[in-house]
Amino acid sequence: MSTSERVVVAAPAKINFCLHAGTRRADGYHDLESLVAFAAIGDVITVARDDDISMSVEGPFAAGLTSGEDNLVLRAARLTTVKAKIEQGIRICLTKNLPVASGLGGGSADAAAVLRALVRLWHLDLSASELQEIAASLGADVPVCSDSLPAWMEGKGERITRLPALPEFRLLLVNPGVALPTGQVFAALRDRRGLGFPYPKTGFKDVAALLRFLQATTNDLEVPARAIAPVIGDVLGEMADMPGALFVRMSGSGATCFGIFERDYQLRKAAQLLAMRHRGWWIKETALASENAAMPAFIQ
């Protein structure tokens, strides 16, 4: 992709710190509630003007994706083009840094990043509600990824309450190299905690308050995910046994798990030990995304 008139947008990884499922709806979705925040790592979307709409994929996990017609990124581009009545095309380059089908909202975050990129590239005058309408039509997780900010998510994902920034801490993310399609995990869901858990609208004053909240919550998808991929239990067990581990849980529909540690050096040591034991695991140390992490950058 040439360096002329490019827009580059980060697509931060989505972390479901908790996820409670309700009953299955008539449309096939499950009602849910989830505390969501975003990591400082993720995929990257680059777009530029062109005659047609096209997409290429690069990066460490490019082999796990295709750029076929059903690709969510291409769907986002085409839908925005129609909605905004734009007649020219775009070239999209997706740098795939996150494992595919990993419980980190990668595809949804990528689609949301395309929406932000096209608004910037074409100087679109779309309202926030119009953008959210486009996002919701693409998938349940796309609306919350549109801003990549901490939120309490409800419904199938379309009802979003923004929350204050979470207290600063670092995360250890670990994926055992297993792709878990979300639909497969939901299909195996049997026990549901139910909805209506009280969440702090004013946020968390410190990490201790966040941990107290998380300890009272669950990820209802963890049990079915572990039944499909038992290695998730190995990941959680090994992370929990690491010195300084305060909290570990699976994110989203898996198989990526996150850990919060008491000290940064303990987190780094845990990452090193896990990497030595499991060469095939994806292991990343990261922080939470900054407030402006997902803002598009325009490059001439």
Is pLDDT at 88 greater than 60 in this prediction? yes
Does 294 fall in a domain? no
Q: Which amino acid is at 257?
A: C
Q: How many CA atoms lie within 13 A of 15 on its CB side?
A: 28
Number of compact structural domains in the chain: 2
| Parent domain of 178 | 170-287
What are the C-alpha distances in Å from 161 to residues 16, 87, 149, 158? 14, 35, 10, 10
Q: Which amino acid is at 45?
A: I
C-alpha–C-alpha distance, residues 269 and 265, integer Å? 6
User: Helix, strand, or coil here: 156?
Assistant: coil
Residues 7, 59 contacting (CB under 8 angstroms): no
Does 177 fall in a domain? yes
Q: Given this model, what pLDDT does residue 29 score?
A: 84
Does 150 fall in a domain? yes
What are the C-alpha distances in Å from 230 to residues 176, 227, 252, 254, 294? 10, 6, 16, 11, 34
Q: Partners of 247 in the beta sheet?
A: 260
Pair 131, 43 in one domain: yes
Q: Given this model, what pLDDT does residue 64 score?
A: 76
Q: Residues, the chain, total?
A: 300
| Catalytic positions, written as ranges | 14, 141
Last residue of a domain, one of 163, 178, 205: 163
Does 299 fall in a domain? no
Q: Given this model, what pLDDT does residue 223 score?
A: 97
Last residue of a domain, one of 138, 163, 188: 163
Does 297 fall in a domain? no
Is pLDDT at 217 greater than 80 in this prediction? yes
φ, ψ of residue 88 in degrees (nearest 5): -90, 165
In this predicted model, what pLDDT tens digit does every residue of 146-189 receive, in sequence order? 999 999 999 999 899 999 999 999 999 999 999 999 999 999 99
Residues 235, 174 contacting (CB under 8 angstroms): yes
Find the distance separating the first CA and the last CA of the chain, reported in whole Å: 13
Pair 106, 176 in one domain: no
Q: How confident is the model at residue 4 (pLDDT cuts 50, 70, 90)?
A: low
φ, ψ of residue 62 in degrees (nearest 5): -65, -35
Average pLDDT, the chain: 94
Closest C-alpha to 226, from 216, 236, 218, 217:
236
pLDDT top residue among 128 and 216:
216
The sign of the torsion formed by the CA atoms of 92, 297, 117, 288 equals positive
Closest C-alpha to 254, from 174, 141, 191:
174
Pair 157, 194 in one domain: no
- Show the tokens assigned to 158: 């379309």
C-alpha–C-alpha distance, residues 226 and 253, integer Å? 10
